[in-house]
Amino acid sequence: MGKPTGFIEYLREMPLDRSPKERVKDWNEFHHHLDEKSLRNQAARCMDCGVPFCHTGKLINGGAAGCPVNNLIPEWNDLVYRGLWREALDRLHKTNNFPEFTGRVCPAPCEGSCVLGINNPPVTIKNIENTIIERGFEEGWVVAEPPAKRTGKKVAVVGSGPAGLAAAAQLNRAGHEVTVLERADRPGGLLMYGIPNMKLAKEEVVMRRIRLLEEEGVHFRCNANVADVDAAKKLRQEFDAVVLCTGSTQPRDLPVEGRNLAGVHFAMDYLTDATQAVLGKGPKNAKIHAKGLDVVVIGGGDTGTDCVGSAMRQGCRTLTQFEILSKPPAERADDNPWPEWPRVYKMDYGQEEAAAKFGSDPRTYLTTVKKLVGDEQGRVKEIVTVEVHWEKNGQGQFFPVERPGTEKTQPAQLVLLAMGFTGPEVALPASLGVELDARKNVKAEHDQYATSVEGVFAAGDCRRGQSLVVWAIHEGRGAARECDRFLMGRTDLP
CATH of the domain at 304: 3.50.50.60
Indicate whether 169 and 95 sit together in one domain. Answer: no
Contacts of 80 (CB under 8 A, 6+ apart): 39, 40, 43, 88, 128, 131, 132
Indicate whether 459 and 407 sit together in one domain. Answer: no
pLDDT at 1: 62
Number of domain units in the chain: 3
* Residue 314 per-residue DSSP state: H
Angle at 27 between CA 347 and CA 314, to 5 degrees: 80
Single out the residue in 365, 387, 419 at which a domain terminates.
419
pLDDT digits (tens), the chain, 494 positions: 678 999 999 999 999 999 999 999 999 999 999 999 999 999 999 998 988 999 998 888 888 899 999 999 999 999 999 999 999 999 999 999 999 999 999 999 999 999 999 999 999 999 999 999 999 999 999 999 999 999 999 999 999 999 999 999 999 999 999 999 999 999 999 999 999 999 999 999 999 999 999 999 999 999 999 999 999 999 999 999 999 999 999 999 999 999 999 999 999 999 999 999 999 999 999 999 999 999 999 998 999 999 999 999 999 999 999 999 999 999 999 999 999 999 999 999 999 999 999 999 999 999 999 999 999 999 999 999 999 999 999 888 999 999 999 999 999 999 999 999 999 999 999 999 999 999 999 999 999 999 999 999 999 999 999 999 999 999 999 999 999 999 999 999 99
| Contact assessment for residue 71 and residue 95, using Cβ atoms and an 8 Å cutoff | yes
264 phi/psi in degrees, rounded to 5 = -110, 120
| Contact assessment for residue 408 and residue 384, using Cβ atoms and an 8 Å cutoff | yes
pLDDT at 64: 85
Measured distance CA(191)–CA(82) in Å, rounded: 33
Selection from 170, 277, 265, 244 nearest residue 453 by Cα? 244
pLDDT at 396: 87
CA distances for 304 relative to 54, 108, 323, 349, 414, angstroms: 27, 18, 10, 11, 14
In a domain, 384, yes or no: yes
The whole-model pTM stands at: 0.96
In a domain, 85, yes or no: yes
Residue 325 CB neighbour total at 10 angstroms: 15
Q: Between β-strands 63-65 and 154-158, what pairing exists: parallel, antiparallel or unpaired?
A: unpaired
Indicate whether 274 and 369 sit together in one domain. Answer: yes
In a domain, 149, yes or no: no
DSSP SS3 for 473: helix
pLDDT at 48: 87
Q: Is 104 left (phi over 0), alpha (psi -120 to 50) or beta?
A: alpha
Measured distance CA(359)–CA(377) in Å, rounded: 33
Which amino acid is present at 5? Answer: T
Indicate whether 408 and 445 sit together in one domain. Answer: no
Indicate whether 118 and 187 sit together in one domain. Answer: no
Q: What are 165-210's pLDDT values in tens digits?
A: 999 999 999 999 999 999 999 999 999 999 999 999 999 999 999 9
The residue segments making up the domain with residue 43 are 6-139
Indicate whether 167 and 231 sit together in one domain. Answer: yes
Residue 378 CB neighbour total at 10 angstroms: 11
Indicate whether 243 and 258 sit together in one domain. Answer: no
In a domain, 394, yes or no: yes
Q: Indicate the Cα dihedral angle 125, 309, 287, 317, nearest 10°.
A: 180
Element (H, E) at 311: helix 301-314
In a domain, 72, yes or no: yes
How much of the chain exceeds pLDDT 90, in percent?
96
pLDDT at 124: 98
Helices (H) and strands (E) in the chain, counts: 17, 18
In a domain, 369, yes or no: yes
Indicate whether 400 and 260 sit together in one domain. Answer: yes
Indicate whether 237 and 307 sit together in one domain. Answer: no
Indicate whether 413 and 449 sit together in one domain. Answer: no
Indicate whether 346 and 273 sit together in one domain. Answer: yes
Measured distance CA(425)–CA(435) in Å, rounded: 13
Selection from 153, 158, 147 nearest residue 220 by Cα? 158
